[in-house]
Chain A
Amino acid sequence: MNRRRSRLIRDILLETFLYGLFVVAYTAVVLRWLDGWLTRLFHSDLIAYAAVGLVLIVAQGVVLDLLTSFLLERLGLGRPQ
């Protein structure tokens, strides 16, 4: 039981670390390269801004999560269940 629990904790930490790296990198890229464009969009076209904003947020949640799953699988580690 203890062994199972420590394995679960190890898997969670590994997954969180990997996912964390992706999320931080993604946010840094958006802040560095897209801030000017997003600001102009906010002031000129709110419909496009709303659509792009939703895509950016959903991508950060879903795409990076899927990427983490894919990498963990490739590394033969799987996700904590």
Chain B
Amino acid sequence: MTFPISGVTVDPFVLAGIGFAVGVLGGFFGVGGGFIAGPLMFWAGVPMHFVVGTDLAHMTGKSIVAARRHRALGHVDIKLGLVMVGGTVLGVEGGARIVEMLKRIEAVETVIGVAYIVVLVIIGTFTAWESLHALRVVRRDRLDAREALAFDGIARRVRRLNLPPMVSFPASGIATVSLWAVLGVGFITGLLTGVLGVGGGFVRMPLLIYVLGVPTHVAVGTDLFEIVISAGFGTVTHALKGNVDILMALVMQTGAALGAQLGATSTRFFAGPRIRLLFSVLPFIGAALVAARLW
């Protein structure tokens, strides 16, 4: 089928299948799944600038469904999500402008492809190493698996950073933290959203857990809430630049919405470090797909 807006020919069942797979993964791990959907779309033959915009569009609707599920389970810190928005929006806009600049110099496929690989390999390696370490801590010290972290010290140091204004997030168990740390987390992930067309969850979730010290199950829900906002804003700003094929996004969303339902529900059967260990495999798969298309 040829999608008339982008002029791209791709099997709609393949797109719906990609959507379903990333929906399950995204709902389960509390991420939008864009870092898998993007490489899969690119691999299926969609030009990179349409991958970035369309991926964000499909993620917006799907993340709303998953975020509503997590909110019902009490896993969303609304205040933390809303405070992060300022940094996120600035980052998304900055990233979208970088994509436009790369389009002008005809380097968008290569530069974004390589950026994908680098970011995914770093995140996968770090998360795998940390979750294995945390699982050893759980076994050795008999801690509650939901709260075990290998990098508890980083979060403690960030909370001691006395850079006003200071804010608190009782729903996440954060008594006081600098507003700039929260905005910084939002900006970094927003920039990735704008450049790579991902929700940024695969970076935001580790940052929420390790840097701000948010419990894993709250980080999952809050991350999805933030993805709704960042992907929604990213959709609009990329659509204005002609990078979104909304028909393609709706087909992907058909599979993704169903997958997200199943994924979000299944998180209740797994504990923190195990979720993170499973999560660590996904970035490597995404990196391999991008590398296969580039070379």
Contact = CB atoms under 8 A, between A and B. Distances in A.
Interface string A40-75: 001000110111111011101110110000000000
A27 to B, nearest CB: 5
Contact of B258 (A19, A35, A42): A19
Nearest to A42: B5
A65 B58 CA distance: 15
Per DSSP, are chain B's interface residues mostly helix, strand or loop, or mixed?
helix
A39 B7 CA distance: 10
A58 B4 contact: no
A77 interface: no
Interface residues of A, number: 35
Contacts, number: 100
A16 B250 CA distance: 17
A18 B57 CA distance: 23
Interface of B: 4-5, 57-58, 60-65, 68, 72, 232, 235-236, 239-242, 244, 246-247, 249-251, 253-254, 257-258, 261-262, 265
Interface of A: 12, 15-16, 19-20, 23-24, 26-27, 30-31, 35-36, 38-39, 42, 46-47, 49-54, 56-58, 60-62, 64-65, 79-81
24 contacts: A12-B261, A16-B262, A23-B253, A26-B250, A27-B253, A31-B247, A31-B250, A31-B251, A38-B247, A46-B240, A49-B239, A50-B239, A51-B236, A54-B60, A54-B232, A57-B60, A57-B246, A57-B249, A57-B253, A58-B232, A60-B250, A60-B253, A61-B65, A79-B72
